[in-house]
């Protein structure tokens, strides 16, 4: 149960509805997921977050599926149940196969393992990695 009210389309102000409409149009769907309904308690925050997300997740130097998998990697490391479910669904919709998901989780697991070993031993960064960019 959310700690704030989830604002449904029919109860939303015109300002909020405009964002909801843009979300549905952009994603070509006819419903709004709960995250946006929670943010809608602050219309400015809703608008800013949606516009930022739309810009960041658009095709660019990285393709949208790679971006979704990066989102899953962060969400898994942060243990965000909602985000894991929503971005796994989004990645599948963009073409992630089961084999890709299994490899993604293997990399995430391995990275979490070696991150902690490196930290636990306080391994100093090799000079060669500190290349002038």
| Interaction residues for a copy of itself, span 49-108 (CB under 8 A) | 49, 52-53, 55-57, 60-62, 66-67, 69-86, 88-89, 97-108
Q: Choose the binding region for a copy of itself from 9-17, 20-28, 119-127 (rule: CB under 8 A).
A: 119-127
Q: Residue 83 is encoded by which pair of tokens?
A: 């985000």
Should residue 118 be labelled a site residue for a copy of itself when binding is judged by CB under 8 A? Answer: yes
Tell me how far, at minimum, the Cβ of 27 lies from a copy of itself, in Å.
12
Q: Please, what's the largest Cα pairwise distance for the chain?
A: 59
Should residue 24 be labelled a site residue for a copy of itself when binding is judged by CB under 8 A? Answer: no
Q: For residues 28-50, b (16+ Cβ closer than 10 Å) or e, as one string?
A: eeeebeebbbbbbeebeebbeeb
């Amino acid at each position: 149960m959310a700690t704030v009210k989830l604002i449904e389309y029919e109860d939303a102000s015109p300002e909020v509805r405009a964002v909801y409409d843009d979300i549905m149009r952009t994603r070509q769907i006819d419903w709004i997921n709960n995250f946006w309904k929670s943010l809608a308690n602050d219309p400015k925050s809703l608008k800013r977050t949606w516009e930022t997300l739309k810009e960041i997740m658009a095709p660019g130097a990285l393709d949208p599926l790679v971006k979704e998998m990066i989102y899953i990697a962060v969400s898994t490391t942060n243990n965000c149940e909602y985000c894991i479910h929503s971005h796994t669904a989004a990645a599948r919709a963009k073409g992630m196969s089961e084999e890709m998901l299994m490899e993604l989780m293997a990399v995430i697991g391995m990275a979490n393992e070696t991150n902690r070993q490196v930290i636990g031993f306080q391994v100093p960064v090799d000079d060669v990695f500190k290349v002038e960019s």
